[in-house]
Every structure is written in structure tokens, then in C-alpha cells.
Amino acid sequence: MSTTNQPALFDLPVPSGSGGNGRPSQAASGGGSAPARPPRGAWTPNGREAAPTAFPLAAVETAGDADPMAGLAPDWAEALAPVAGKIRSLLAELAAERDAGAGILPAPGNILRAFTRPLSGVKVLLLGQDPYPTPGHAVGLSFSVDAAVRPLPRSLGNIYRELKADLDIDPPAHGDLSAWADQGVLLMNRVLTVEAGNAGSHRGRGWEEITSLAVEAVASRKLADGSHAPLVAILWGRDAQSVVPLLHGAPRIESVHPSPLSASKGFFGSRPFSRTNMLLKAQGATPVDWRLEAVR
């Protein structure tokens, strides 16, 4: 589906069969109840799911003056090596601005948080635009907030509303989406930082080059038989939809952003969660359990 200036609802239903890369050629509609909780693991070169490898966030959070790349999952560090110098330079610039009194979000230890879980385990790309500009909200995972945040951001409230309508899943009181990330949902923003209170303020500073490479790394993974590893891209809003040429034909689900300014223009009713699971199953992958348990 093209990403024009008109609000995009989502791609047309997937026909039987698959595209030339062994992937469904376009997104499918679908519904039904939430799936049973699936096993969690990473895709290995032979296409089977292996036990996940833990990469603690603390390695990033406590890095201090250490190399920021040291806290990334090893396969992410390798994939992002061509822009490692750019990452270090950009983080140094932001640190200097922060030292001068600027409010930079998220906290330094969370800026690269999306890359602390293995690249090999990614099966869904859920791409946002930039972090929440409200202090205390941005945590380095797109659309997610800390479990203690109240009230929830309105965009996240709209995501929960659609989750209920799509899969009849009652959302939790909290906004911590890390359980999705644990299952291979890459919660990444197009731009990884923002000035507090100024949405979109860090567009054009260099993050787009870095996240473009990350998208290409996800989309270009191959299995032992030469086919692409299972992947579904969920693209909400024009910023996210700008990566379509980088997806190597991976099936995608597009709509307007869940922001209160646009959600009623195509996000509500788009059923992204059930459709993502249909597309994953069509590629032989385990569906995502979209339920979010209460955080204790």
C-alpha cells in the first residue's frame, strides 16, 4: 500500500499463497480471541525458535562514561557497527546539552534500550515516531511508559482501546509494554530522543540514519534455506511509513498514528493485533500474546 498524504487504513487482505520471498505478499484482515501464551525465543538460522538469551538493561543504564554500544545485544552491536561512530557522537552532543541544562528524553541509559534484546528474536517491528515529550513518560521503547505512570499517555490509551476491540483483551492499568518486547516485538521509535515538552524536536539530528539501518538489519535476516526470517511491520503514522522501502517486501500493517488527533481517521478499526498474528502464522512463526499482565 502506498503511503500518500491520505490517511492509510491498512493493506488489503492477504491472498492465499505468499510473496516471492516466502512471506505473505500483503497484510491480512482477521480477528478472534487472544492466542494461548506462546513460548518465547529467537529465530535461529534453521528457522526454529531457540531459548532466548537475556541481555540485562542494567548494562546500558549503568554504563556511565563507558562505550554506549557495550550494553547492546551482541547481534545488534554488530548490525549497528557501521553507524557506531554516529551513535557515539550524537550521544556525546546530547550529553553536553543535558549538562548545560537541556531536558533530553529519555534518560541516557534508555536511549538505546530497544537494542538490548537480541536482533535474532525480532518478529514484529512496531515503529513509532519519537519519544513521549512529557518528562517521566519516555522509557526507550516506542509507546511504552514506566509501570508507575498515571495517567497513561492518550496515544497508549487509544492503542489499548483498539486492543480491546480487536482481541477482546482487557488492558492493564499500567503502560509497560516490555512483555511485548520480550516476545520479539521491536518497540523502536524513528527518532530516539526528544527535547522535553517539544515533540519532534530531534528530527533531522541523525537518528533517522541509525534507525534506517536498524530496520534494514531486521528486514534482511535470512534463514538457512535463503528465505527471509518471519517479520511483520506495524507502521503507525507517516514517520513510521517512511521505512517501507527498507522492508524488503515484508508484510506490513499501516494506519494513521494512534494520537488523539488522528486515531479516529483510520487507526480505530484497523485490527493490527489479530492481523499481525495471522501474518506471523502464515510465515510459520509463533503469534504474539498481546495480553499484558498486572505489574506487581
Position 42, amino acid: A
User: Packing angle between helix 272-282 and helix 154-167, nearest 10 degrees?
Assistant: 60
In this structure, the number of other CB atoms found within 10 A of the CB of residue 260 comes to 12
**What phi, psi does 208 have (nearest 5°)?**
-60, -35
- From 189, 188, 186, 173, select the one nearest 292 (Cα to Cα): 173
DSSP element (H, E) containing 42: strand 42-43
Q: Check if the beta carbon of residue 283 is closer than 8 Å to that of residue 277.
A: no
Which of the residues 11, 75, 130, 289 is marked catalytic? Answer: 130
Residue 211: half-sphere exposure toward Cβ, Cα within 13 Å: 31
- From 273, 275, 278, 234, select the one nearest 255 (Cα to Cα): 234
Distance of CA 178 to the CA centre of its chain: 11
Position 8, amino acid: A
**Cα–Cα dist 29/255, whole Å:** 13
Task: Assess whether 130 carries a catalytic annotation.
Answer: yes
**Cα–Cα dist 134/246, whole Å:** 30
Give the single-character DSSP code of 7.
P
Helix (H, G, I), strand (E, B) or coil at 126: strand
In this structure, the number of other CB atoms found within 10 A of the CB of residue 220 comes to 15
Active site residues: 130
